[in-house]
Amino acid sequence: MKKHLWIISLTLCSLPLVAQASCESVKADISQRIINNGVPAASFSLDIVPNDQADRADGQVVGHCENDSHKIVYKRDGSESDSSPTTGSGEDAASR
């Protein structure tokens, strides 16, 4: 019985680490969503910046990662008029 409690305790303690997505995996997911919406991969870039630099990062925040300590910033390359990505996620998209 004590062995089961130990395993359950260890599992519960490690859950927050699993829940925090790495920035690269979030960036790849957002990139794929933008591409799926018809935007060519060569016409935009996504940058991972610390929270305190997100306002200065000449672009639009489209996601966050690492327990909200970093932001993912979208920048459109080229001269097309529509510079807003449609990623389909809610939290940062709602704050636009």
Cα gap 62→75, rounded to integer Å: 10
Q: How many CB atoms are closer than 10 A to CB 72?
A: 25
Question: The whole model's pTM is what?
Answer: 0.61
Domain count within the chain: 1
- The count of C-alpha atoms lying within 13 angstroms of the C-alpha of 2, restricted to the half-sphere facing its C-beta, is 0
Predicted pLDDT of residue 10: 46
Residue 67, sorted as left (phi over 0), alpha (psi -120 to 50) or beta, turns out to be left
pLDDT value, residue 57: 82
14 part of a folded domain: no
Give the mean model confidence (pLDDT) for residues 11-31: 70
> Would 7 be classed as within a structural domain?
no
Parent domain of 57: 21-95
pLDDT at 20 over 80: no
Nearest Cα to 87, choosing from 23, 21, 25, 34? 34
pLDDT band at 19 (very low <50, low <70, confident <90, very high): very low
Read off the pLDDT of residues 23-82 as tens digits, 9 standing for 90 and up. Answer: 999 999 999 999 999 999 999 999 999 999 988 888 999 999 988 899 999 999 865 544
